[in-house]
């Protein structure tokens, strides 16, 4: 009877050329086939046969153990750990299964970290470390500001913001990886390199700590993010290239001139001086490299030796002016420093930032387009308001014509009275503004007099 049934199944499967009876195999037969491939050194076929067998009730544990061993030999630690876990679940008290599982997962964290670091380095390949640090520093400042306020929101909103800030901080910590790689390759002094790498490691750990604290709604998150922002700013000044350095210099000097509130306790004027010094230190080598690029790429704008000399002279003068601004409590030359920075930026090659310059151009064009759209909208609004005013004026005139002569004369007298009152108010306002201007002029004169009488610093000569 069984042979007849098998014959019917074989007849139905004749189109595929495989008899149905041949596909019905026991787990033991599949195990033997897999072991055969295993003993023959055919790892690919052994895994193909044994992997589906890991869910078998009779041979699953042994198949999982074999798969774990094969995958571990090929370096596939994730697959080896998964298979070893299946084997351990089948016999939790088995000492051999425990040893195999421990062996499988032993190098897993290190392998995952290595894989993650390689992915980050590959994504940042060809990118300027200074540009990466510049973007990261700005994000760190934003995170620091938000870390001090997000807990004041409603609980549901605070939790959602905490998760978002925590993820941003985790991503921010990854920035230290390509920066560490770049500094390692550029610093030749082993002792100096060791010190810098230790500082980067500490900064990375603080950034990760901030991510954890933000996710836990910890009140210490703001203080940790403040330290992180200091670290990013310090390393930005070490890695930033001249184009970005002079850009940050202008921002810091403008904030110093306008007396903008300090960020994280640092003086804007001191920051401006640091960026000027970073610019001066790196400009000669950067200019030579750019000049070589112009020789290879004729589309790049020329950067002559005369222009480079002008920039170097301006940068030297700028540092002296900014040092004077840092030393004096009433800096007299902040506007002059800002003017020198703008002269330097005007002399710098317009594509000096590469992709960054293009991004800046796009960012500049975007507000222009938005301003144009806003202007068009304003014109439409003004036209609509003018139409409404004309319509209202026509209605008022029509109502005036419909009134009797006595009422018109009365309205005219009231209008004349209102106009006289308005003139009196304008005269009073003008007098008040004039007095205020006189007081302001007197205050400026007193301020200039005090500055002239202020004693010179000990390190400055008066001749």
Query: Mind giving me the DSSP string for 45-68?
Result: HHHHHHGGGGG-TTTHHHHHHHHH
Q: Which long-range contacts (CB under 8 A, 24 or more apart) does 209-213 make?
A: 210/143, 210/147, 210/169, 211/166, 211/167, 211/169, 211/170, 211/172, 211/173, 212/166
Rounded Cα distance, 5 and 25, in Å: 16
Rounded Cα distance, 268 and 257, in Å: 9
pLDDT on residue 285: 93
User: What is the CATH architecture assignment of 2-106?
Assistant: Alpha Horseshoe (1.25)
Rounded Cα distance, 100 and 65, in Å: 8
CA distances from 446 to 181, 441, 452, 453 (A): 56, 9, 10, 11
State which fold the 240-357 domain adopts.
Answer: 1.20.120
Rounded Cα distance, 193 and 186, in Å: 9
Query: Mind giving me the DSSP string for 431-459?
Result: HHHHHHHHHHHHHHHHHHHHHHHSPPPTT
The size of the chain, in residues, is 463
- Give alpha helix (H) positions in 91-189: 95-105, 108-123, 129-147, 155-173, 176-186
pLDDT on residue 203: 93
pLDDT on residue 457: 42
pLDDT on residue 346: 94
pLDDT on residue 458: 39
Burial class (CB in 10 A: 0-12, 13-18, 19+), 306: exposed
The pTM score is 0.60
pLDDT in tens, the chain (463 residues): 444 444 443 444 444 444 444 456 898 899 999 989 988 889 899 999 999 999 888 888 889 989 998 988 888 888 888 998 998 888 888 888 888 888 888 888 888 888 888 888 888 888 888 888 889 999 999 999 999 888 889 988 999 999 999 999 999 999 999 888 887 777 777 888 888 889 999 999 999 999 999 999 998 999 999 999 999 999 999 888 999 999 999 999 999 999 888 888 899 999 999 999 999 999 999 999 998 888 888 788 888 999 999 999 999 999 999 999 998 877 778 999 999 999 999 999 986 444 444 444 333 333 344 444 444 555 555 555 555 555 555 555 555 445 555 555 655 666 666 666 656 666 665 665 566 566 656 656 665 555 444 444 433 433 3
User: If we measure between CA atoms, which residue out of 388, 418, 414 comes closest to residue 403?
Assistant: 414
pLDDT on residue 151: 87
What sign for the dihedral angle of Cα 267, 268, 272, 275?
Answer: positive
User: If we measure between CA atoms, which residue out of 169, 120, 170 comes closest to residue 141?
Assistant: 169
Per-domain residue ranges for the chain? 2-106, 110-238, 240-357
Region of residue 65 (left: phi > 0; alpha: psi -120 to 50; beta: else): alpha
pLDDT on residue 364: 38
Rounded Cα distance, 348 and 186, in Å: 25
Q: Between the CA atoms of 28, 33, 35 and 37, what dihedral angle is there, to the nearest 10 degrees?
A: -170
pLDDT on residue 173: 93
Rounded Cα distance, 49 and 31, in Å: 8
Rounded Cα distance, 221 and 104, in Å: 37
User: If we measure between CA atoms, which residue out of 153, 144, 166 comes closest to residue 212?
Assistant: 166
């Amino acid at each position: 009877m069984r042979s007849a049934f098998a014959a019917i199944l074989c007849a139905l499967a004749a189109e595929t050329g495989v008899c149905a009876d041949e596909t019905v195999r026991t787990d033991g037969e599949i195990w033997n086939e897999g072991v055969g491939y295993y003993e023959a050194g055919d790892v690919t076929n052994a895994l193909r046969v044994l992997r589906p067998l890991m869910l078998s009730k009779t041979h699953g544990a042994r198949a999982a153990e074999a798969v774990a061993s094969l995958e571990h030999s090929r370096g596939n630690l994730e697959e080896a750990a998964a298979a070893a876990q299946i084997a351990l679940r089948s016999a939790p008290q088995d000492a051999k299964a425990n040893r195999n599982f421990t062996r499988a997962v032993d190098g897993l964290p290190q392998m995952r970290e290595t894989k993650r670091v390689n992915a980050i380095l590959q994504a940042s390949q060809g990118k300027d470390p200074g540009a990466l640090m510049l973007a990261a520093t700005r994000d760190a400042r934003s995170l620091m500001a938000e870390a001090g306020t997000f807990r004041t929101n409603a609980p549901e909103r605070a939790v959602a913001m905490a998760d978002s800030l925590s993820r941003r901080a985790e991503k921010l910590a990854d920035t230290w990886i390509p920066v560490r790689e770049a500094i390692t390759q550029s610093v030749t002094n082993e002792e100096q390199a060791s010190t810098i790498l230790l500082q980067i490691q500490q900064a990375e750990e603080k950034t990760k700590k901030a991510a954890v604290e933000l996710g836990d709604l910890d009140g210490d998150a703001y203080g940790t993010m403040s330290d992180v922002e200091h670290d990013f700013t310090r390393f930005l000044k070490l890695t930033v290239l001249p184009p970005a350095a002079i850009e940050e210099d202008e921002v810091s000097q403008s904030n110093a001139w306008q007396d903008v509130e300090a960020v994280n306790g640092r003086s804007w004027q001191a920051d401006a001086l640091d960026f000027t010094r970073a610019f001066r230190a790196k400009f000669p080598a950067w200019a030579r490299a750019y000049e070589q690029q112009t020789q290879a790429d004729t589309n790049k704008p020329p950067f002559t030796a005369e222009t480079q000399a002008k920039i170097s002279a301006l940068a030297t003068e700028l540092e002296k002016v900014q040092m004077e601004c840092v030393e004096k409590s009433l800096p007299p030359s902040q506007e002059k420093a800002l003017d020198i920075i703008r002269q330097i930026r005007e002399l710098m090659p317009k594509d000096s930032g590469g992709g960054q310059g293009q991004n800046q151009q796009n960012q500049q064009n975007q507000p222009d387009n938005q301003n144009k759209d806003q202007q068009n909208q304003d014109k439409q609004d003004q036209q609509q308001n003018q139409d409404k005013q004309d319509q209202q004026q026509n209605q008022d005139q029509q109502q005036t014509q419909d009134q009797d002569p006595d009422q018109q004369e009365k309205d005219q007298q009231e209008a004349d009275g209102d106009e006289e009152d308005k003139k009196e108010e304008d005269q009073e306002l003008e007098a008040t503004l004039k007095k205020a201007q006189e007081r302001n002029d007197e205050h400026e004169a007193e301020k200039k007099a005090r500055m002239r009488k202020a004693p010179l610093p000990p390190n400055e000569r008066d001749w």
